[in-house]
Each structure stands twice: as structure tokens, then as C-alpha cells.
Amino acid sequence: MHHCLWRYIMVAVSLIFLNFFLQKNNEEHLTYNLSLQEEKKKTLWQLNEKQISSEQKNHLATFKDMQKPSPLLQRASYKFLAGSPPQEKKLLTVGISSEQHLHGSYLLDTLQSLFQASSEPELNCIVVLVHLSDPDPEWLSQTVANISSLFKPHIEAQKLLVIHGGLSDSPLPGDLNNVSHASPCEAHYSRQKVNYVLLMNFALNLSEYFLMIEDYVHCTPKFISTIYWVLSAWKELPWVILEFSSLSLSGKVFHNSDLSRLTSFFLLFHENIPIHLFLSEFRLLLAQNVPIRFSPSVFYHMGNYSVFEDTCFPVEKEEVFDEPDNPVADVLTDMMAELNIIPQYAYILNKECYSVLDPIEGNYLTVILEKPQKVIRIEVLTGSDKQGLYWLQQGQVELGYDPLEDSRGCARYTLLGPLVEGHLDQRVFYEEDSVEELSCIRLTVLASQKSWLLIRQIRVWTQNEEEES
């Protein structure tokens, strides 16, 4: 799907560029159009050069060149509707774009859920940025009045900022301003992309990271702490998008340093396609080949979808997992354990655990599956259940492929993720059209620690044949 979409985008961009080149431009837009033409020409040439190599990682250099904001955003204008920007840079901006909905608004409920789920120390790390994108003055006035009344303390503390943004009357690429000829869904996709572009563009310098959520989302308690500790664990690792929900938009976290490239990407390759597909392409082009998604989700939709939303977007349902079904496997380790404690205890689904003393950097525990499996989720629990002691302070989980003949592990490993406070719970994804299946799961110690280590349980979920079909 992603590769097909990318080819479609490239063909569409080529046609747009050719049409644009042949068109006679209006004199009043000549300067603007020439700059956009040059940008498109340069980017198109770069992307075509990268395609020839057939190596996705080579797209990275191209998109790093898109760090400069799009010329369109030089014409962006904003109005402060409530609150003011924080005086100091925050860890995280929670960005919400909101407009009128046919069956009422859940924006106030979303904000209520967000603030109720967060403690004061957590709120000190973030700023909530709400972009009211609908131009209806009556709706804007009433919505701002409701927000100001319900969330006055957060506005005064510079934890909540409400804005309205717009672009000038300059022609947008693909004539996004003129959606009268488009289907209702295509018009909505175009508006949605411009709305998120304006939101992200304003957020560029507010924080280190940007969290996207929709305006009808329920937030689980302590979601900020969950995101904080994951960001800390992943700080030195390469990533483009971290996902804290199975929803197509809500729960995605970006580096603020990537937002300029992302907004340029939206405006340059604008085709009337749902925004979540563009996010997937953006991730691929910056060399993150599979999603990085954490379980369980910390964001859920509230309310009901309208007929329009059901038509334009896939119905999003949180995937429900049964109990883990750890397939038959051997377990090997080079860590020293107590007498009569076997490493298999870390993998058997019971209350037994595997305990070792003073693990050192480079130690491992490897689960070697009897036969390759389509694993879809892995959870690793270390430390005591109640006291929270003896967990692995620095470790990571790796996925193994190409099992060795001597059953001592696998020939090739890729990173699934680091443990976060001794715990990992992540979905496992595979590259597009890949037929590979998992053969090994390896827990690696990244730093020596002078204490006991309890590996309480490694839990594995596999995809059965019916689910796969």
C-alpha cells in the first residue's frame, strides 16, 4: 500500500509540475509561483534521483534539505484567542486542531479528560495548543468563551493556548483553496492537511517534541508520564514517529525539529489523500521502516462517528488481545542464576521468574522459537511485581531472524526497543510485503548493575492463520 501510494504521489507531482510549468501564470502571482516552481523542480529531481537507487534510506538526505519552511508558511497569520505562549521551552506540545462537527463537539470533553488525567508536575512539562480552524465567527466566539470559562486557571498558567490561523489568498499547490470541485471527503482531507500544517508551524519553537491528538479523544491517567519515560529511553535512538495509540492520528509523537519538513511535505505533495497515509510515507522517507507502537494505548476516541466520518476515514477500533500464547521455544542465557533456577522460567506463563545476580553489560537471554512465527506483540517484565525492585535498569529487546543451525540463536537481529523502567510492551510490525517471520527474541543488558535482576516474564502474542488472512 505504502509503495503504491508513493508511486502515485510521484506521478501526481510530476503531472502537477508539468502542468504548472506549461501554464501561463497571472502576473500578480509570478514571483510566488516561480519560487514554488523552483522548489518543486528541485525536490522532484532529488526524489527521482533517490528512486533510481531503490534504497529508501537515501531519501533521508533529500528530506533533510526540506528543513527550510515552505514559502506558503511565510504568509501564515495567527490570532491569539485565549492565553499566551509559555516563556520557556517545554518538553512536549499537545497539539489539537478543532473545527465544527455535524453532530456536536467533543473538544471541551477532550480538554477536560486531558487535564484531569494529568498531575501538576506533569502539566509543568507541557503546553496544550488548540488550533480552532473553523472560520465561522459565531462558532469561534462561543468556543473560546466556553474554553476560557472552564479552563481559566490553565490559561493563566500558560499551560493552555488557543489560536486561529490562516494562509493568505495565494494559490495553494493543487488549488487547495478551491475544493468546490472535490468530493466531500477530498475537500475534508485538504482542509485537514492545511489545518494541521498551521498547527504544527505555530508549534515549531514551543517544545522539544510534538504530540498530535484529535478533538474527540479520551486520555488515560498519567499519559504524560508514560510518554515522558518513553522519550527518555529513546532519546539516543533514531526514530521519526512514536505511537501511543492504535488510532490513525491521535497519539503520534514527533521531534519538533522534524515539523518543518513535515509541513513542507504536506504542502508540496498535497494530493487529496487521508493525512495518516502521508504520515506513513513521511516515516518511511526518513528511514523508519516500521511503526514504533507501544501497548496499551493511552488515547481512545470518545463519542460516535458520523456517517460522513465513517465514509471518509476507516473505522478505528482498538485491537483487543487475548492472553499471550507463547509458542514452544528454548531459552538460552549467559547470566549466572541461583541454583535450580532455569532460564525457561522467564518464558513459562506462570508465577515463576528467573533471577540472576549482578548482570554485566553484554549479558543476554534469548528465546529461540521452535519454528518461525508471525509475532505481533511482545511484553517483557522485569523486577518484583509489588515493590518495583530488581528491574533491569538499562536493557533492550531485539528481534532475531535467520536461525543458526546449532540452535544457539539467530544470525541477524533488529532493535524492537529499550526497556522503560524495566518494562517493554510493544507491537511488532514487518516491512511492507515482507514474508519474514520471527525466530528469536533477545533481551540484552546494556549496563552492568550491582543488584539482583528478576526477569519476571516474557509474554508473546502471535498471529494465527485466520487473523493473517
In sequence order, which residues have a C-beta less than 8 Å from that of residue 208 and are 6 or more positions away?
Answer: 89, 90, 91, 92, 255, 256
Show contacts of 31-36: CB within 8 Å, 24+ apart: 32/71, 32/170, 32/171, 33/171, 35/71, 36/71, 36/72, 36/173
What single-letter DSSP state applies at residue 351?
S
Run means of pLDDT, 10 residues per run, the chain, 469 residues = 47 39 35 43 43 44 60 84 95 95 86 97 97 92 97 97 82 47 73 91 96 95 97 96 94 96 80 82 92 95 60 69 94 88 93 92 97 96 83 96 89 96 96 86 96 95 69
DSSP-derived secondary structure for 61-101? HHHHGGGSPPGGGGG-EEEEEE----SS-EEEEEEEEE---
Give strand ranges (E) for 103-173. Answer: 126-132, 160-166
The predicted model scores a pTM of: 0.84
Separation CA 211–CA 24 (nearest Å):
42
What pLDDT sits at residue 268?
75
| The 364-373 sheet, strands edge to edge | 329-333, 364-373, 438-445, 395-403, 410-418
Q: Identify which of 395, 392, 386, 396 has the alpha carbon closest to the alpha carbon of residue 358.
A: 392
**What is the pairing mode between strands 126-132 and 160-166?**
parallel
What pLDDT sits at residue 465?
59
| Cell (9 digits) for 125 | 512539562
What pLDDT sits at residue 105?
85
What pLDDT sits at residue 462?
95
**Are the CB atoms for 440 and 404 separated by under 8 Å?**
no
> Residue 432: beta bridge partners?
none
